[in-house]
Amino acid sequence: MGWKLLVENSFDDYHLLTTHATWLDYLKSSGVEIKRPEKGHVLPSHGLGKDLGNGHGTTDNVNFRGRPVAAWIPIYGDAARPELERIRAELVQRLGESRAKRVADTNRNLVVFPNLVLLDGSSVSVRSFQPTAPDRMRVRAWALGPVEESPLARQVRLDSFLTFYGPGGFATPDDIEALESVQIGLGAYKEVQWSPLSRGIAKEGEQLNTDEAHLRAFWVQWDKLMRAA
């Protein structure tokens, strides 16, 4: 499956609790409040998985993990608090209350079919990947920030990036480990022919970020294109 595993990983939220248990522990021990999931939920906040058509898809989540743009958590440090409040006030003034809330208090991971990802989580990262062999790929990732940000806002954004993303982050290396382990497991494809992606398949209406409707939409599109080829 190679690169397609990274697509799944990039906008699947179901793996957060298990793959990133140590990252969640880090948030908790740093004073970030992690609520108990509500009934029917796996994660501390409500979030959706959306099929955007043609294989594109996104999560759309109420944020609980802090956002360098304007949702302060203790990891950012006390000195950053007034700066984030200033940014939020500017957002409200420019965009109005509800749009500002959308920017500051929701987060999403968006897949542009087939291999471009916008991770709007602990910071904004753009990720793209190319297969170099059936079981290898080259991944490139960028940190995205506003040109006009203040030095303090930039510091918070870059620092927050490193808490999660990148080869030395507290989360991405565990994703890579999962991808590599699954790839090895897939070597048994002759004995085990299916990788089930059935979460939420019997549901009507709303699909959660921890369901797999948006992942299935990616695979359906891939399958359609491959069959046509």
Partner 1 sequence: MKEIGRAQVEDFLYHEAALLDAWRLDEWLELLTEEATYRVPSNDRPDSDPKSALFTIADDIRRIRARVTRLKDPHAHAESPRSRTRRLISNVRIVEQNPLLVEANFVIYRFRGNEDVRQYVGRYRFTLETRDGRFRIKSREAFLDAMELASLGTVSFIL
Binding region for partner 1 (CB under 8 A): 18-19, 21-23, 25-26, 29-30, 138, 143, 151, 154-155, 158-159, 161-163, 166-168, 170, 172-174, 176-178, 181
How many other β-carbons are positioned within 10 Å of the β-carbon of residue 11?
23
Distance in angstroms between the alpha carbons of the first and the last residue of the chain: 18
Measured CA to CA, the distance from residue 88 to residue 15 in angstroms comes to 30
Nearest residue (CB) to partner 1, 18 versus 93: 18
Distance in Å, CB of 156 to partner 1, minimum: 10
Asked if 45 and 35 count as a contact pair (C-beta separation under 8 A), the reply is: yes
Distance in Å, CB of 167 to partner 1, minimum: 4
* Structure tokens belonging to residue 143: 């940190």
Distance in Å, CB of 204 to partner 1, minimum: 35
Asked if 103 and 69 count as a contact pair (C-beta separation under 8 A), the reply is: yes
* Structure tokens belonging to residue 25: 């522990």
Distance in Å, CB of 21 to partner 1, minimum: 4
Measured CA to CA, the distance from residue 129 to residue 138 in angstroms comes to 5
Q: Pick from 85, 88, 101, 78: which is nearest to 30 by CA?
A: 78
Distance in Å, CB of 142 to partner 1, minimum: 9
104 burial (CB, 10 Å; 0-12 / 13-18 / 19+) is buried
Nearest residue (CB) to partner 1, 109 versus 123: 123
* Structure tokens belonging to residue 18: 């298990």
Nearest residue (CB) to partner 1, 184 versus 192: 184
Distance in Å, CB of 86 to partner 1, minimum: 18
Nearest residue (CB) to partner 1, 145 versus 222: 145
143 DSSP β-pair partners:
125
Nearest residue (CB) to partner 1, 138 versus 203: 138
Q: Please give the full DSSP string across 183-208, using - where no structure is assigned.
A: HHHGGGTTT-------TTTT--S--B
Nearest residue (CB) to partner 1, 29 versus 98: 29
